[in-house]
A and B are shown apart, each in its own frame.
Chain A
Amino acid sequence: MQVIEVKPENILETVNSLKKEFDMLISVLGTDMQEYYEIVYHLLSTSSSKKLMLKAKLNKNNPEIDSLSEIYSAANWHERETYDLLGINFKNHPEMERILLPIDWKGHPLRKNYINNDERLCWNER
């Protein structure tokens, strides 16, 4: 599988030019790499069954990237999940809300510096 590193501000252009060949979005992943956040897209070409990986490094303080939900509708829920667990903001997303965790949850649990100190959950401690 080929890997392409993209700058976050160029993601829409890149994906638009790849859309004809790679017509399916398989997954959207987020990773907390301590110094920066990394976001990974897997694309699949259904005609030649080739795969392509796009990577983008995001700023630690204000992780933001353009949403792909206009291009691939599969991106909608994947991006909501990435926002839910890692707190990465997707600009121009139609419904940027939590998808897995309860709506009034505090914090983003898959961040490395996440500490669960929600006092509503203190009954659950060992």
Chain B
Amino acid sequence: MRIILTAIDTVYNWARSNSLWPVTFATSCCGIEMISASAASFDIARFGSEVFRASPRQADLMITAGTVTHKMAPALVQLYEQMPEPKYVIAMGACCVTGGMYENDSYSVVRGVDRLIPVDVYLPGCPPRPEALLNAIIKLQKKMKTETLLDRKKYLEAHKPRVIHPDTRECEILLPDPEIEVIHWGVQKVASN
């Protein structure tokens, strides 16, 4: 039984790792390098990722390219949750990894996208070259080829986003709700009622 499962997993992993479809989503200037990587001179299509989907429901890779602000955070989380499982994230650029040059005193920037969603590959650089993005995709493909879907569940459990309030240990990401008049933003303390 185990041998059959392993064989199926190998074929399944080979298939999905060679057709990683990214969602068309960039939060700032690293997006230019992402566009450049998909154009003719660097040609991301060599690795099976040329189909940038305009809808998150058809994508299984999110390249968060650029600075993430508090105002953008709910939109980013909503896009991530709309993607079908199994889904993967590459945090591209210094701002996405730790907050980058906004780390110390900025009032509006989220210090690393891993506070909002689980990240698979960290890609530093300001901005990273398109070759570096290709390298990150190859790293991700290698990772996908060695794991089963059960491993994937355990990985997501272990890498839950670190959005925890220091006092109450309860925090939630508020998504925009058209019925509520006040526009909620980012991550807030859970209201005690």
Contacts and interface: CB of A to CB of B under 8 A. Distances in A.
Interface stretch (A27-35, A53-61, A72-80, A115-123): A115-123
B contacts with A: majority SS: loop
B102 to A, nearest CB: 11
B185 A126 contact: no
B29 interface: no
Contact of B164 (A104, A114, A123, A126): A123
Given A102-B70, A109-B107, A109-B108, A122 B166 contact: yes
A102 B183 contact: yes
A103 interface: yes
B191 to A, nearest CB: 10
Contacts of A18: none
B165 A123 contact: yes
A124 B71 contact: no
B135 interface: no
A104 B182 contact: yes
B62 interface: no
A114 B99 CA distance: 20
A124 B110 contact: yes
Contact of A123 (B103, B115, B184): B115
A103 B171 contact: no
Interface residues of A, number: 15
A119 to B, nearest CB: 7
Contacts of B55: none
B23 interface: no
Contacts of B110: 124
A101 interface: yes
Contacts of A109: 107-108
Contacts of A104: 182, 185
Contacts of B103: 126
A102 B176 CA distance: 12
Interface in A91-105: 101-104
9 nearest A-B pairs in the assembled complex, by CB-CB distance: A102-B185, A109-B107, A120-B188, A116-B107, A120-B189, A123-B163, A123-B171, A124-B111, A103-B183
27 contacts: A102-B70, A102-B71, A102-B183, A102-B186, A103-B183, A104-B182, A104-B185, A114-B107, A116-B107, A120-B186, A120-B187, A120-B189, A121-B70, A122-B165, A122-B166, A123-B163, A123-B164, A123-B165, A123-B166, A123-B171, A124-B110, A124-B111, A124-B115, A124-B187, A126-B99, A126-B103, A126-B111
Interface of A: 101-104, 109, 114, 116, 119-126
